[in-house]
Amino acid sequence: MSETVVELPPELTIGACRALHERLMGVLEEGRVVVLDAGSVERIDSAALQTLAAFVAGAQAGVSWRAPAACVREAAALLGLESMLALDAA
Q: Give the chain's mean pLDDT.
A: 92
**pLDDT tens digits along 44-67:** 999 999 999 999 998 877 899 999
Query: Identity (one letter) of the amino acid at 41?
Result: V
Cβ pair 72, 44 in contact under 8 A: yes
Cβ pair 69, 38 in contact under 8 A: yes
Contact residues for 59 (Cβ-Cβ < 8 A; gap 6+): 28, 34
Domain range annotation of the chain: 3-89
> Is the per-residue pLDDT at 1 higher than 70?
no
**CATH number assigned to the domain covering 3-89:** 3.30.750.24
Question: Which secondary structure element, helix H or strand E, spans residue 34, and what is its range?
Answer: strand 33-37
